[in-house]
Amino acid sequence: MVELEPNLLVVNISDMKISDNPDDVVVTYSLGSCLGVTAYDPEVRVGGLIHCLLPRASAAREKAKQNPYMFVTTGVPLMVRKLIQKGAEVRRLIFKAAGGANMRNDDMFLTGQRNFEALLRLLDRNNITLAASAVGNSIPRSMFLHIDTGRVFIKSLGQESEL
């Protein structure tokens, strides 16, 4: 039996993709201080992945209007709304996060840490638990969401692990 390569849906910086196709793997590469967030509904097998550059849209409202996926506070809720349109229910969504690193040992802006904190506040306000995360440190990560199973894998520095 020939095993087919999965169909990769690549999420760029300040971008988001959702899918209900079991052959799809949604991926984002080289998460540094950016935050990758997946949400997956195992009952209807629909999931999404967003690659957020910055934590709060309130810091740049015009940019947020042009591209809400750039920010955790606008992008994650929009991804959830689009998943609901595909049949997902918020109470069933499983959220995972990766990235939020401090790539330049930058103690002034702490963008990665602030991105992750913005996500935790957003989830907390909505009584949602983060199922798993691989954040912080100073390493780049790539994040893969398998739509057929909802499994999330992280690749970093030649190592792969399940989140």
Structural domain of 110: 7-157
Give domain status of residue 21, yes or no.
yes
Q: Does residue 1 lie in a domain region?
A: no
Structural domain includes residue 49: yes
* pLDDT of 8: 95
Q: Is residue 51 part of a domain?
A: yes
Q: What is the pLDDT of residue 82?
A: 98
Domain total for the chain?
1
Question: Looking at the domain assignment, is residue 94 inside a domain?
Answer: yes
Q: 24: helix, coil or strand?
A: strand
Residue 70 falls inside a structural domain = yes
Q: For the chain, which residues score pLDDT lower than 50?
A: 1-2
Please report, for the domain that includes residue 68, its CATH number: 3.30.1330.200
Q: 3-class SS at 46?
A: strand
The angle subtended at Cα 11 by Cα 60 and Cα 105, nearest 5°, is 60
Residue 54 lies in a domain: yes
| Residue 163 counted as domain residue | no
pLDDT of 86 reads 97
Which residue is it, tokens 């709060």?
Answer: 56
- Six-digit token pair at 23? 């052959």
